[in-house]
Structure 1
Amino acid sequence: MKIRIFLFSLFFSACAFAQTKSIQKPVVISSYSQYRASVKANPDNELIEIKKSIPNITLDIRYATKNNFMQQVMYKQARAFARKPVVEALKKIQRALNKKGYGLKIFDGYRPYAITIAFYQKASDKNFVANPAKGSKHNRGCAIDLTIVNLKTNKDVAMATPYDSFLPAAAANYEPVSNEVRKNRQLLINTMKKFKMNVLENEWWHYDFSGWQGYELMDIPFEKL
């Protein structure tokens, strides 16, 4: 009996160890001085404020409000940042869309790592949030959540779901959708891809910058940037 209890305890101890190891925190830059040193070593590491670089872009920073899936304010400031090459790509995308009567609306950009942990703990569907064990491309300053607005009306164009929906229809290739939604979605996907921004399969609004692997995870709050 004692042997069985010992083996039983050993099994669960091993499971607990494996689980702890699987969610081990990755290397994250949380020191502002360390971040500045990385920018000095490579200017592309700088987190640029998107609105300052692209004044005619629209912001709707949902995580600075309670209008989000967390239903609570996550950001102290309604600002959006991204690495320098990402912002340069967004400039080109904005110009391309402006010529067609459209513009970008940003929901989220760089996201401090601590926020990713909070999302993962609360999200009912883990497929729609990043696992902190690996971190998010948002934490690297290389992912943007966005949509398109009509410049004449300043209203969002029609998409299959609202932003941050956990429904199957949020997928980038979901069918069936109306012709209008399909046209809008494809315009966004094609324009973004042209400038090295690739859509995430299960979120029509989420785009990752090609080359994100070269950037480190960050946990610097907006107030310090």
Structure 2
Amino acid sequence: MKNSFLIVLLGLVIISCKEDASHRGDGDTQQKEAVEIKDTINDISIGAKESYPTLENMADSTFIRLADYSGDFAYDMRYATENNFLKAQVYDCAECYTRVKTAKALIAANDDFKKAGVRIRFFDCYRPNSVQYKMWKIVPNPQYVANPVKGSIHNKGGAVDITLETLDGEVLDMGTDFDFFGKRAYHDMTDLPQNILDNRKLLKETMEKHGFWSIRTEWWHYNLSSASKDPIADFKWECEH
């Protein structure tokens, strides 16, 4: 909605300036108006940015859409498709929401990753508890899906499933695909090519530096340490169709 508003408003400004220029036909006037258009764009952009409160001004427990606060991430939200181990779409649409404190940690970690020429690519973020029930109905096995009665840290807005890609969009080789359930996906699996071990090490060490911890059997899964005692949530985002 914000982007649509900017486009419409910018179009009106340009049309207005062009109409004035057509009456005057003065080159200096047109140049001046070009500067005015640029200044107007900047003013609009500043106003749009201010329409969102900063992360620092929100409670850590607040849910936010990560893309509204950083354009530096990539997304491959598998559970909004059938390309996952469930072979079913369980989200109505693809979005990555987290609590504010998780977002802060992710943005800080991504800043470090970018220094190494890579960035975070998301497979899953906050997961409403009702979606957890959908997953449990399909695969009622705690080895693969957390029991929705107890919930998972995904349901608390403090867990993410991620990999790394280059800044040009090339996904790094982690040895298996997301949601591969086998020993090759374990963190303690060392019988792998060195480049894969290096990629996993970069992912793990950087995430741990920013307050996340991993689980032994899934190289892609990271929990924010301070989120374990947060309440289970069933906040649902609206889909724009």
TM-score, with normalisation over the residues of structure 1? Answer: 0.77
Structure 2: which amino acid aligns with 1:115? V
Q: Tell me the distance in 2 between the aligned counterparts of 1:120 and 1:163.
A: 18
Aligned to 1:146: 162
CA–CA distance in 1 between the matches of 2:140 and 2:171?
A: 27
Residue 202 of structure 1 corresponds to: 217
- Secondary structure in structure 1 of the residue aligned to 2:228: helix
Unaligned runs of 5+ in 1: 1-41
Deviation at 1:125, TM superposition (A): 5.1
Residue in structure 2 matched with residue 90 of structure 1 by the alignment: 106
Q: Secondary structure at the match of 1:138?
A: helix
Q: Scaled by the length of structure 2, what TM-score is found?
A: 0.72
Say if 2:179 is the partner of 1:179: no
The 3-state SS of whatever aligns with 1:85 is helix
SS of the residue 2:163 aligns to: strand
After the TM superposition, which of the residue ranges 211-220 and 125-134 deviates more from structure 2? Answer: 125-134
**Distance of 1:88 and 1:58 partners within structure 2:** 16
The residue aligned with 2:55 is none
Matched residue type, 1:58: A
Instruction: Output the CA distance in 2 between the equivalents of 1:60 and 1:222.
Output: 18
- Which structure has more relative contact order (CA 8 Å, sep 6+)? It is 1
Q: In the alignment, does 2:120 pair up with 1:107?
A: no
Q: Which residue of 2 aligns with 1:26?
A: none
Within the alignment, does 1:126 sit opposite 2:126 as a pair?
Answer: no
The residue type equivalent to 1:101 in the other structure is: G
For residue 209 of structure 1, what is the amino acid of its counterpart? L
Q: d(CA) in 1 for partners of 2:59 and 2:136?
A: 31
Bigger mean CA offset, 215-224 vs 174-183: 215-224
Matched, 1:218 2:209: no
Q: Deviations 1:74-107 (Å, cap 9, x if unpaired)?
A: 1112100111011001111111011110001011
Q: Secondary structure at the match of 2:121?
A: strand
Query: Hey, what does 2:175 align to over in structure 1?
Result: 160
- Contact (CA 8 Å) 2:66, 2:98: kept in 1 or not? yes
Taking the aligned partners of 1:157 and 1:200, their CA distance within structure 2 comes to 20
Kindly report the root-mean-square deviation, in angstroms, between the aligned alpha carbons of the 2 structures.
Answer: 1.6
8 Å contact from structure 1 (residues 161, 170) kept in 2: yes
What are structure 2's unaligned runs of at least 5 residues?
1-57
Retained in 2: the 8 A contact 1:163–1:205?
Answer: yes
Is 1:71 equivalent to 2:87 in the alignment?
yes
**Contact 1:125/1:166 (8 A) holds in 2:** no
Question: SS state of the match for residue 131, structure 1?
Answer: coil
Q: Give the secondary-structure state (helix, strand or coil) at the position aligned to 1:115.
A: helix
Structure 1 stretches (4+) deviating beyond 2 angstroms?
A: 120-126
Q: Which of residues 166, 169, 181 in structure 1 aligns to 2:184? A: 169
> CA-to-partner distance for each residue in 1:38-68, whole Å, 9 max, x for gaps?
xxxx811111111111112101111111111
Identity of aligned residues (%): 31
Deviation at 1:204, TM superposition (A): 0.6
SS at structure 2 position matched to 1:172: coil
